[in-house]
Structure 1
Amino acid sequence: MSELHNLMNIGSYIEEKLYAAGIYDEKTLRELGSKEAFLKIRTMDDTVCIRVLYALEGALQGIKDSQLSASDKADLKAFFKSL
């Protein structure tokens, strides 16, 4: 795989999803952002849940997904519900 598994919250499951979506490295993930990366994953697997979105955002912020701020979670939840 790639170095993505070294990021916070990115285990083998999410790393495989990212890789399958054409996201092979941290630079690409950062350029896309959590929402766009999630959309790429969701295009291939419409069963992915909001926890993956939280994990991606946490990875970009360098924190555990459980430590995302309430406002970040609310924003991500609204985005997820809009899909």
Structure 2
Amino acid sequence: MGELSKLQNIGEVIEKHLNTIGICTPEELVNIGSKEAFFHIKIIDNTACLHMLYALQGAVEGKRYTQLAESTKKDLKHFFNNL
């Protein structure tokens, strides 16, 4: 596993998806953001779920996805439901 797996919430599966869409470093993930990264992952993996989106946002923020602010979770859920 590479650099991305050192981030909170990023395991082997998410790291492989991120690499597939051209995100290979934590900086690239932060720059593109969780929503844009998830959008591209959803194109290649239709089973990508809301918890994966939460995990990406937690990685961007440097915290466990369970510690995301409720307002952030609400925003992400709205985004997910509108994909």
TM range (shorter): over 0.9
Q: Which amino acid aligns with 2:75?
A: D
Partner of 1:51: 51
What pairs with 1:60-75 in structure 2 (closer than 5 Å)?
Answer: 60-75=60-75
- Aligned-pair identity in percent equals 48
**Structure 1 unmatched runs, 5+:** none
In the aligned structure 1, how far is the partner of 2:22 from the partner of 2:44? 11
The residue type equivalent to 1:66 in the other structure is T
Paired amino acid for 2:81: K
Q: Which amino acid aligns with 1:39?
A: F
Q: Does 2:3 align with 1:3?
A: yes
- Separation of aligned partners in 2, 1:8 and 1:75: 20
TM-score (ref. length: structure 2): 0.96
Following TM superposition, by how much is the alpha carbon of 1:46 offset from its aligned partner in structure 2, in angstroms?
1.3
RMSD (CA atoms):
0.8
